Amino acid sequence: MEGQKRAGRKLAEARADKGKILLRVSLRILLAGVVILAGIRGNPPNSGPVSFLSGLLAGLIVLGAAAWVFFPLLHCRDFLDFYEDGIVFCGRSWGLEDLGEISFMEVKSSYSLFARVYMCTEVRDFNVTYIKDGKRNFNNAYFNDI
């Protein structure tokens, strides 16, 4: 609360895009289901694992796949608040003079269907992929543009 008082009045806010998060989780569940179904159809299970080590490896693969599938859910509480003299990103305050020049960058990986969006500053690159209208709210807050 003290940091927000020093940052001035709130100009704009951007919250997590729950629709995008649910879409990505559902697509990952669909992809994992297709892979599991293809694995079972290609090699039907006749009995349990041959050894403890192979069972442990299969368990680690399942755990890693579950972590990959549900990772976007960690971003459900992300937010970005814009104040006169700074921003608050997921609970941490940053002064505008400390951040320097702010720009937005979209990164498309060859391994992913979707692009990631970063708010780039001199201090740190903030991942704002799962924040709804972050760039638009930034422009509205500081430049009165859409």
Look up the pTM and report it.
0.79
Q: What is the pLDDT of residue 3?
A: 47
Q: What is the pLDDT of residue 125?
A: 93
pLDDT (tens place) for every residue of the chain, 146 residues total: 444 456 678 899 999 999 999 999 999 999 999 988 887 777 767 776 678 887 888 889 989 999 999 999 999 999 999 998 889 999 899 988 889 899 999 999 888 888 999 999 999 999 999 999 999 999 988 887 54
pLDDT for 90-102, tens place per residue? 989 998 888 989 9
Q: What is the pLDDT of residue 48?
A: 65
Which residues in 134-144 are b (16+ Cβ under 10 Å) and which e? bbebbbbbeee
- Residue 68 structure tokens: 């990959």
Any idea where the domains of the chain sit in the sequence? 2-16+78-142, 19-72
Nearest to 94 by CA among 138, 133, 132, 130: 138
Q: What is the pLDDT of residue 7?
A: 64
Q: What is the pLDDT of residue 1?
A: 41
Three-class secondary structure of residue 101 per DSSP: coil
Identify any residues that bridge with 80 across adjacent strands, giving them in sequence order.
14, 89
